[in-house]
A and B are shown apart, each in its own frame.
Chain A
Amino acid sequence: MRTTPKWLFPVLALLPVLGLYGCIRVYPIIETLRLSLFQWNIISRRKPFVGFANFVELASDPLFLEAIFNTTIIAFSVVAITIPVALVLAALINTRQGLRRSGVYEASVFLPHVVSLVPAAMAWKWIFDARLGPLNALIGLVGIPAQSWLFDPVLSLVCLIVLCSWQAIGYAVLIFLVGLKNVPEALYEAARLDGASSFQAFRHIAVPLLKPVMLYVSVITLISSYNIYAQAFVPASDVQGAPGRLVRVLVLDMLENSFRNYRVGYAAAEAVVLLVIVLILTSAQFRLFRDRSRA
């Protein structure tokens, strides 16, 4: 029996994955970063180097600044709604594990995550409709006057947050359920013997153990919310005129700059800004959850 060196397995296992990673992720991203220093319209043979001119222009571009502002509000709100709601739902569904019902609950919560967005957004448009939508009928019952949800600058953001949360919750519930199922039952037994209520057991046993899962879910929700565009585009895009106010978000502005205005370099500069923002926020989340789990 020859003993193989200790590093052989990890290196051999990691190499193919890293190779793939380099070719189809790192290289195109670096290429994009490089593009941000050029002015290019996708098909032209001319691609002049412009240094940081794209970034200088971004700093005073009202549409870009509006996009950053909207995207940040949406992303933070979606995280703030999705994480607690998904955690509670997952905990409740978890109490039903083993019953046939639990599958129905899980599927109902998850399906919005996978349905095709365009037809789903049409349903949402109707729900939010100012004149005859069910939402206004509902708030009318408690005496709140009808609102023009899709047109008011603030309420249209709220609509988008609801739509994105509706899509994100299923994903988060799924991951939380995996985490909850990994909580050793013996711990619950012990807590119960100590006379803790189910809620106390959940609060003091499951939640701390779910810290890493929460970190994961909050990072992924934040990042995917920063990357939304179809959710903003579909409810407001209708060649038939006016379904609602377009809430400008970052990726939408980016796509508009690269494919409508044919300014690939400029859009790449926006991508760099997005990258920096999200990197800062993600490392902040890591730090936050680390500190909390130490406490």
Chain B
Amino acid sequence: MKSTKTLLGLMAAAAVLTLVACGDNGASAGGSDDGDGGDSAEEVNLTFATFSPDQESAIREVLDVFEEQNPGVSVEIQIIPWTDYWSTLQTSTAGGTGPDVAWMLGAKIGQYIDGGVLLPLDDAFEESGLDIEKYPEQLVDLFVDDGTTYALPKDFDTIGLWYNKALFDEAGLAYPTPDWTWDDVITNAKALTKPDGSVYGIGAPMDPQATYYNTIYQAGGEVISEDGTTSGYDSPEAIEGIKFWTDMINVHHVSPTLESFADTESVAQFMSGRLAMLTTGSFYAIRFANDPYSSENFDVTELPGGAQEATIINGIGNVALASTEHPEEAARLAVFLSGEEASQISSETGTVIGSYDGTQQAFVDAFPQFNLQAFLDQAENGVVLPVSRNTDAWASREGEFLTPAWTGEQTVEEAAAGLAGAMNEALAQEN
């Protein structure tokens, strides 16, 4: 009953929006026809879809520069909330009513490339005079298929070891350093944990990008084989990498439980002083800087090493959709949004690390209270967030299968074996 009403409401809203949108286009198209009769420059309106309201002002700044350099082209930002973003982009693109340019992730791009709905950006890139060598190589590979570039990374993020200086001082311990090992983390976490449960040494949430992917690669394992056909979860190294975290909860008792993280996000627990350490991304720098307690007490260093050094690196790309009416301008915009100027502006805001080499110092300088250089130093050990052609098909199963390992109901070996089986099945379907 209620959902029917909601649905009707949505349809009505969609109808109104469509009308408004049509009205807009019609008006401006008509205007340029009448007004600029002899002028060759036609008014071009592009829409650009993103999922981050936080970055809107930075994006607008970038777009203003683009509009200035491309007279006659105007760009409208369309912010679609994360929970709706991918289904909206997919359905509207498949229906030919999508935006002209949009944000893209490595985990999602495979389906779009296979569907043939993306514009190649090679020509526009060449024209822009940008240097491909200046982008993090691992991320560029994510968006290139068969030698054709479909997107360029606009930014990147890596994972670091954040810590609460006040809690380290209280326990009389030295702050973490880049040369820490896994054992150092465990020893210190034990010393930091208070028996009454008010402070835990570290947070061990079940978060692929922030926790266990990193340690799987540090242990020498892999999430997915290099050719993208088989799961790496059943290797001893991957199991070791997962165990590092489950042991924190079930063996060493230095982290709150998974139940606790379900109730209160790990970052929220960290910001309230309940966790002394948390491994998470550069993308939280702005949130920590805006919070007085975190800004004063937090700092960050490189991830501790396992058998080898590794951190998960990820970034957002900008794609141009083939359904656009202005392919040339759309491709130029997609490249510009990942270019040097855009990168510089992103870094200066401190929201993300600009991807173009040479613009990143601005990010480090944005919040001098944190040692953000650690995130840049790690980039060379970056392992790109593992993806396949249809990442969601198996990534959505990870939580399901690993939960019993986190709660201690199953051994990591059992959970990982189950996950590997389901993942191999999903991968078999896409190949």
A and B from one complex: no
What is B's interface to A at a CB cutoff of 8 Å?
A: none
What is A's interface to B at a CB cutoff of 8 Å?
A: none
